[in-house]
Amino acid sequence: MASISDLLCQRDFWIFLFILGWMMLNWPLLSLAEGLVLLDIPAILIYVAAIWLMIILLLYLFDRGNSK
């Protein structure tokens, strides 16, 4: 079984994460949250903020994994 550090060093894994992030910020998925409101906050803002947070955390892991 491969460890997390081995997985983070694989180029194919990062290509997969890039494509996943691109798909999550694509128009059809963004339009699903249009008009919804959660806790008096538009759902589109919550969705985009969550995706941005995920991308930032993945970039941190990528930088941390490649700096060793």
Neighbour count for residue 29 (Cβ, 10 Å): 12
Query: What pLDDT digit, counting tens, does each position of 54-66 carry?
Result: 878 877 877 776 6
pTM: 0.59
Task: With a cut of 60, say whether residue 1 has pLDDT above it.
Answer: no
Task: List the domain boundaries for the chain.
Answer: 4-66
> What pLDDT is attached to residue 48?
82
> What pLDDT is attached to residue 57?
85
Residue 9's contacts (CB-CB under 8 Å, 6 or more residues apart) are 65, 66
How far is Cα 65 from Cα 68, in angstroms, rounded to an integer? 6
> What pLDDT is attached to residue 9?
66
